[in-house]
Amino acid sequence: MIGKWKNNMRQWLTNQMELPADVVADLPRITMIGHIHIYIENHRGLLLFTDRELRLLLKNGQLLVKGEAFSIKTILPEEILLEGKISQVLYLEE
Amino acid sequence: MKNEWVYRMSGNLRIRIVGKGLERLLNDFTRRGIYVWNVRREDESSLTCYMFLRDIRHVRAAMRKSGCKLYVLERRGVPFWLKASWKNSGIVVGLVAFMCIVFLLSNMIWRIEITGANPAVEHTVRQQLKKIGVERGALQFVIPSPETIQRTLINNMDTVTWIGVEWRGTTLYCQVVEKKQPTQTKSNTPQHLVAKKKAVITYMFVEQGQAVVEVNDHVVPGQLLVSGFIGKEGQTEIVPARGQILGETWYKSTVVVPMKTTFYMLTGKKRETHYVRFWSWKIPFFWNHKEQFSQFEKQVDERTFRFLTWTLPIRYEKVVWREKEVAVREYSYEQAKAVAKQIARDQLKRQLPADAIIQGEKVLHEARENGKVKVEMHYQVIENIATPQPIIQGD
């Protein structure tokens, strides 16, 4: 009940004050440069990493990145920069 | 974010981690603040990545918990490079030392070539050079410049007229012009002694020959003093006449001395600047500019460095400014007269042979005109007036 109210409140704030959603709602911010770089902020940890797949834990659900020749350029507690040939970015809801 | 350059400089490692739960380990690394980059999965149970050398202790702690194994594949960055170069330093040190030695040897004197001198003079020249530090093995930038060497040699040696000193590579060339020393040989050819100047004879000492004049006689140039013919008439012998005939001779000289003279005088204050020259750029590296002089003498001393046969474009240059000031010297009439007399005397002495004696001096005339003092002097001098004249026998 309170959680839902909180979410509504956030939604309203985002709409009303024109604040970026990631700041207010604690969502991941994903920046892609073509298909070679993907930069993900606000993740909650690494779940799986192979040269064809990257799975990240988010606040709500997971993020799945598929492609080829992956390498992690940078990994920090809340940020990750992935390099490779990216073909898909998928959200997996819990 | 740090750039590539920072990674390169600080020590970093390329590592391989083998085991299970590698993702968990990476999460653990980030939580511990261990920075890794270029993470690449190799297969199911191994990955490679780069990490900083300074994080190694934290990594060990993380590894212990995970049960994975860590292999170091590559060591990069300045700390490792230093370590490696320390191992190879022998070669570097050797190379640098070699270059230094070649440089030093290239700037040494290897030969001193002396031309135009007989062995005795050459020997003295070498000794004089040695005295001022110029000898085989001396470094060229320690010894004085060729001009200075030249001046010193000429001043210190009375058997030479002139010495030219020149650098060519590692050889110092000295060209000597010897003084023509009069040959003091006793001539055994028949000769007379004749007067070379107008004089009154004051002293006679005849070693050999027949004196034809007496003390207090007045003689004119070319007059026979001691004859080479001796013996009675009819049975004369011809001998080389020898002896010392001193006569009183007279000299006149006129000297003009200005009563007021303006000239420059060095005050002894100087300022120096040392430059290093690269091609045409002059970079001062040491100077003591305390004051600017309004009037000065500038002196430039340039040194070049050689490497093998090449002259390096790097030069050393020393510029010395010596302050000078205008000095006005003013003589009173009496002082000017005294100076004029002194000058006249010095001039005369220079002109006379060393054994001549100035017996008396007289002021003939003195005048003061246009701020100058003109003095006319008359000197009585006792000197050897005899000069040999060979007897050429006819028939």
pLDDT of residue B184: 55
**B226 within 8 A of B318, measured Cβ to Cβ:** no
Distance CA B217, CA B213 (A): 6
Residue B208 β-bridge partners: B242
Q: Can you give the residue ranges of every domain in chain B?
A: 4-82, 111-178, 184-259+331-395, 261-328
What residues contact B12, with CB distance under 8 A and at least 6 apart?
A: B50, B51, B52, B53, B76, B77
Q: What is the pLDDT, as a whole number, of residue A10?
A: 78
What is the assigned CATH class of domain A27-92?
mainly beta
The residues pairing with B77 across neighbouring beta strands, listed in sequence order, are: none
Report yes or no: B32 at the A interface, CB cutoff 8 Å.
no
A67 CB within 8 Å of a chain B CB: no
Question: Which fold would CATH assign to domain B111-178?
Answer: Ubiquitin-like (UB roll) (3.10.20)
**Substitution target from B17, B25, B27, B42 for chain A, most A beta carbons within 10 A:** B27
Is B127 a residue whose pLDDT tops 60? yes
Query: B198 phi and psi, to 5 degrees?
Result: -75, 130
Alpha helices in B252-386 (DSSP H): 333-351
- Give the span between the Cα atoms of A70 and A51, in whole angstroms: 4
Average pLDDT over residues B185-192: 73
HSE-CB for A84 with a 13 A CA cutoff:
26
Chain B partners within 8 Å of A73 (Cβ): 37-38
Is B8 a residue whose pLDDT tops 70?
A: no
Residue B363 main-chain phi, psi, to 5 deg: -90, 120
Is the pLDDT at B223 greater than 60, yes or no?
A: yes
CATH number assigned to the domain covering B4-82: 3.30.70.260
Q: Is B264 helix (H, G, I), strand (E, B) or coil?
A: strand
- Residue A73: per-residue pLDDT: 92
Q: What is the mean pLDDT of chain B?
A: 86
Nearest Cα residue in chain B from A84: B40
Q: Report the alpha-carbon angle A64-A66-A69, nearest 5.
A: 135
B232: number of Cβ within 10 Å: 7
Question: Taking Cα atoms as reference points, which of B213, B210, B237, B214 lies closest to residue B223?
Answer: B213
Asked if B39 reaches chain A (Cβ–Cβ under 8 Å), the answer is: yes
CA atoms within 13 A on the CB side of B136: 4
Structure tokens belonging to residue B255: 């000297």
- Look at A73 and B38 and tell me if their CB atoms are within 8 Å: yes
B89/chain A closest Cα distance in angstroms: 36
Distance CA A83, CA A67 (A): 10
Which has the minimum average pLDDT: B8-12, B39-43, B172-176, B254-258? B8-12
Is B31 close to A77, i.e. CB distance below 8 A?
A: yes
Name the strand (E) or helix (H) holding B276.
strand B260-278
Percentage with pLDDT > 90 across chain A = 55
Query: How many Å apart are CA B298 and CA B270, to the nearest integer?
Result: 10
Closest chain B residue to A71 measured between Cα atoms? B40
> Does B370 score more than 90 pLDDT?
no
CA dist., res. A51 & res. B305, Å (int): 61
